Amino acid sequence: MNEEPNQAPVSIPEETLQKWEARGVSRRDFMKFCTATAATLALPMSFIPRIAEAIDDARLPVIWVEYQSCSGDSEAFLRANQPTAADIILDIISLEYSEVVMAASGHQAEKSKHDAMEKYKGKYLLIVEGSIPTGEHGAYCTVGGESAVEGAKKLIANAAATITVGTCASFGGIPAAAPNPTGAVSVMELVPGAAVINLPGCPVNADNLTATIVHFVTFGKLPATDRLGRPKFAYGKRIHDNCERRGHFDAGQYAEAFGDPAHRQGHCLYKLGCKGPETFHNCPTVRYNEGTSWPIMAGHGCLGCSEPNFWDTMTPFYRRLPQVPGFGIEATADKIGLGIAAGTALAFGAHGVASAFRKGDDAASDHVKKEK
């Protein structure tokens, strides 16, 4: 991240750095985390000391509950790095309840959740994973004898703010797909008007979750959101806009089948069903597994999992989108690609190098020379 013009070097108090070193976190790693968080949140470098101060003074009480979920979001969080889940749990937040990582079970676990809700009423951060089934009065999901509907409403009402992790909690996800036998709904549908921010994805990107928590700790409020309640820093741009294969799309170069030469050369996956043109997420820039890769980089098209009702609206997953947004109502990928390719060919032809578009370079070159 480049420094701003005329800005003094970022400085974190020595006392703060010493505290984190005592916890086993090197100065370099701590600075790297604060810088990466500021970058993810699209904040200038001048905010790095403020982030460092906030997380140094933190231990925000957090209650993490699961309803209709596969625990994929919890697993993604547990595999977080820089900082690790252990760093976050032990140093940044105080995880009061989480079925996946807590030692207690049964009545003891439920007591921990109830006690934390009462002790930190209006101050704790609630994280919800999974959709909430409303069918049969909530009987399809009960925890400790209490339905998910009752439990979620109570926890949301007493929380300072709620973060939904994963598409199921954000938009209903797979459980809410037609015909939705359990009457699954999202958190926002269950409690309209509550202070909720959605972090959809299958699973949620742990970096986005960490950045959202740090934003709340630093500023005392949730980040700015789009119309679907998603933070703009993570869902403000289409995947298509930042995709490393975008240049191939613009040039009309598409893979026609998995494993074909174009696919192996990294050409656009639009014709193989990629939903990047209709999906908003920062997957291309943040990526997964410590920033190692993401689906399109690995050769598989985007499924649009961070969009509402993706299981119904984005399927069949391996069929191309009928239209590409942003290029005119009648413009399809074929027309865009062919139009740009044709324009490029004309430009090359005007400069006497049309041979770049032909096979048999020598013969083509001779022909061009004769024409000239």
**Rounded to whole angstroms, what are the CA distances from 208 to 41, 261, 267, 270?**
9, 35, 28, 26
* Domain segments of the chain as ranges: 58-232, 236-362
Residue 145, pLDDT score:
87
CATH architecture for residues 58-232:
3-Layer(aba) Sandwich (3.40)
**What is the identity of the amino acid at 122?**
G
SS3 233: helix
With a cut of 50, which residues of the chain have pLDDT below it?
1-8, 327-330, 337, 339-372
Residue 323, pLDDT score:
65
Q: pLDDT (tens digit, 9 = 90+) per residue, 24-36?
A: 778 888 888 888 8
CATH number corresponding to 236-362: 4.10.480.10
Q: Please check whether the two domains, 58-232 and 236-362, share a CATH topology.
A: no
**Rounded to whole angstroms, what are the CA distances from 18 to 10, 15, 22, 50?**
17, 5, 6, 16
Residue 46, pLDDT score:
83
Helices (H), the chain: 14-22, 27-40, 48-56, 72-78, 85-87, 106-119, 148-158, 167-171, 187-190, 206-219, 232-235, 239-242, 246-250, 261-264, 283-286, 310-313, 333-350, 361-371
**139 with 147: CB under 8 angstroms?**
yes
Residue 102, pLDDT score:
87
- The residues, ordered by sequence, that sit 6+ positions from 128 with a Cβ below 8 Å of its Cβ are 65, 67, 152, 156, 162, 163, 164, 165, 169, 187
φ/ψ of residue 231, rounded to 5 = -65, 135
Residue 232, pLDDT score:
96
